[in-house]
Amino acid sequence: MTKRWVARPAPDLNLKEADNSCSLPESISLLLARRGFSGEKLNRFLNPDMDLLSHWRDMGGVLQAAQRIVSAVQNSEKILVHGDFDADGITATAIVYMGLQSLGAPVDYFIPDRFEDGYGLGESSVEACSAVNADLLITVDCGITAVEYIRILKGLNIDTVITDHHQPGDILPDAEAIVNPVLDEDAPHSKLAGVGVAWMVLRAVYDLLGADAEYLHELLQFVAIGTVTDVVDLSGDNRILVFEGLKQLCESPLPGITALAGSASVNIREMSSTDLAFYIGPRINACGRVGHAADALKLLLAGSSSEAGELMVTVEKHNRIRRKLNREIESHVFRLAENLDNPRCIVMANEGWHRGVIGIVASRLVSKYGVPSIMISIDNDYGYGSARSVPGIPIFSILSGLQAEQGIMESLGGHPMAAGFRIPENRIPVLREELNSVLSRDEWNAHLGSVLYIDGKLEEQDYNAETVKSLEMLEPFGEGNRKPVWIARGAYPVQWRAVGKNADHLSCSFRIGSCVYRAIGFNMVNRQSMFNGRVDLAFTLALDTYRMDGSIQLVLKDIRKHRKVVN
């Protein structure tokens, strides 16, 4: 797919007044200005200190939630923590379980099985509460739409505290307390992941009890993993929590995280948000996708390196299976997608596709075609769908609208950019037709198509290791704070060759200005045909970790024939 190179959307600012009080290269100062950072806002961005974190009292429902949990702790009531089977839910479960256990509370946990129980609260949740004689159920990363099952629990004299960050339905559950940042629109904490919400509630519990919060600070490692993996916006409180969590993780990693890093061959002392997103989070997610999330949770709860090492064997086994299934389904789906003619929405359904990995494949379709994509696994006359979208097209809201009008699906949940649902197989064609109808409107045109966002142009003096170190001040990178993509126009190809196990990567060098720089283009070996003349490059800047000599390399995001700029 040919990508459109587009300047990353930016606030309407006077870039001539870019704040350079931090002695950054001018290119980076302009970048930060384009992203809306200047003055005190710039200082807060570059120095994400825990003192700047929202106070838990500013979050709706936290006081009521904490008071009910404190009462349970003080009266030795049996507490059950109910999580979700993705990395956000697993890390949130680990935090609340370990945090309450540290306070001496009688606490247990339950995570439903993706295939046997489905998402959120259900019959298995009620059975789990009964099995442990729970007095209080605390949900993490789920529960906001579980109106009926929370009513059932209430009838059994089991109180519920809901902590979630998913979109609520028209009716809120009758729980003892509800904490959901979505209900506090535009607040610094409004985009917290489920694990961030859980940590804030636990922080309130510790404060009300007068307990030492140092242990909670250590558990920020889990907040960093869950937040990055759930692809929420890394701004506001999320940036602070992930920044501090990464620092804790690098300095004093917990045994389970050390085992994950070792299995992924990642240097834990230099762990970045990119490592969490591509190596750590997927391994945790793999358990809930192809096995049971409890396997990952047990690893995170491990108290020693030897215990973690033993548990890691099972987690890595799930990860290998997940990768194999993903390759098989992705290959099938991409062959089918070749027959599509400029789609505005992709809806694919098939019997036999593994439910645990279709969300990953949907994301790959979005990345390649730049349109909302839905993968549906059919099993016993029902489809289990996973939807992903592009910036500017709120797929969950669109699906919710269709559901309200026509009742196409049996269940639906999610975020603005992602959703999961269950649908009768015979209704899938209706869903496909209705989505294509909605997305055929002109209002979506600007958001459709494969887009590569460009952040700016580096000056010739900025192609050095000092610039890379300055860029590290912008970490953690992720949703809402993407790693900057730079453009170099009219670069001259100097040399190139295929590299990698399957010879599908491109190692090359280009003359830009008066100097020659090395570059690597992953899965770009077929771009060599462009190198009979000048080219434009889109790239991120990095240290050359292969040579380890302090030099830099360009990590190519795209290459195109040189286009002269007409003023």
CA-to-CA distance for 463 and 553, rounded, in angstroms?
A: 9
Question: Residue 118 in 3-state DSSP?
Answer: coil
pLDDT category at 138 given cuts 50, 70, 90 is very high
Closest CA to 260 of 81, 482, 87, 479: 87
CA-to-CA distance for 118 and 124, rounded, in angstroms?
A: 9
What does DSSP assign to residue 154? H
Q: For residue 126, give Cα distances in angstroms to 112, 276, 289.
A: 11, 33, 23
Residue type, 43: N
Quote the pLDDT of residue 541: 96
Question: Residue 142 in 3-state DSSP?
Answer: coil
Domain extents in the chain: 4-47+452-561, 51-252, 253-335, 344-449
Q: C-alpha angle 542/548/553, rounded to 5°?
A: 30
CA-to-CA distance for 69 and 159, rounded, in angstroms?
A: 10
Sign of CA dihedral 377, 381, 382, 388: positive
Whole-model pTM? 0.92
CA-to-CA distance for 32 and 274, rounded, in angstroms?
A: 20
Residue range 287-316: average pLDDT? 97
Residue 392 token pair: 């500017």
Q: Give pLDDT tens digits for 352-390.
A: 899 999 999 999 999 889 999 999 999 999 999 999 999
95 against 9, higher pLDDT: 95
Q: Collect all residues with Cβ–Cβ distance below 8 Å to 78 and sequence separation of at least 6.
A: 106, 107, 108, 132, 133, 134, 135, 136
CA-to-CA distance for 430 and 244, rounded, in angstroms?
A: 47
Q: Give pLDDT tens digits for 480-491.
A: 899 999 999 999
Residue range 155-174: average pLDDT? 95
How much of the chain exceeds pLDDT 90, in percent?
80
Quote the pLDDT of residue 433: 94
Burial of 362 (0-12, 13-18, 19+ CB in 10 A): buried
**Would strands 505-512 and 515-521 be described as parallel, antiparallel, or unpaired?**
antiparallel
Burial of 78 (0-12, 13-18, 19+ CB in 10 A): middle
Q: Give pLDDT tens digits for 7-43.
A: 887 765 555 555 556 678 888 988 998 888 888 888 8
CA-to-CA distance for 327 and 305, rounded, in angstroms?
A: 32
Query: Which of these CATH numbers, 2.40.50.460, 1.20.140.10, 3.40.50.1370, 2.70.40.10, describes 4-47+452-561?
Result: 2.40.50.460
Q: Give pLDDT tens digits for 115-124.
A: 899 888 999 9
Q: Which residue has the tokens 């990395």?
A: 87
Quote the pLDDT of residue 451: 87
Least confident span in 7-21, 29-43, 295-309, 334-348 = 7-21
Quote the pLDDT of residue 204: 98
Sign of CA dihedral 432, 433, 435, 441: positive
pLDDT category at 310 given cuts 50, 70, 90 is very high
pLDDT of 408 > 80? The answer is: yes
For 82, phi and psi rounded to 5 degrees? -110, 115
**Would strands 79-82 and 107-110 be described as parallel, antiparallel, or unpaired?**
parallel
What's the mean per-residue pLDDT of the chain?
A: 93
What does DSSP assign to residue 287? H
Instruction: Classify domain 344-449 at the CATH class level.
Output: alpha beta
321 against 367, higher pLDDT: 321
Least confident span in 58-67, 262-271, 517-526, 546-555 = 546-555
Residue 497 token pair: 């060759």
Residue range 285-301: average pLDDT? 97
Taking residue 71's Cβ as centre, other Cβ atoms within 10 Å add up to 15
Q: C-alpha angle 145/194/237, rounded to 5°?
A: 130
| Architecture of the domain whose range is 51-252 | Alpha-Beta Complex (3.90)
Q: Which residue has the tokens 């409004």?
A: 190
Quote the pLDDT of residue 315: 98
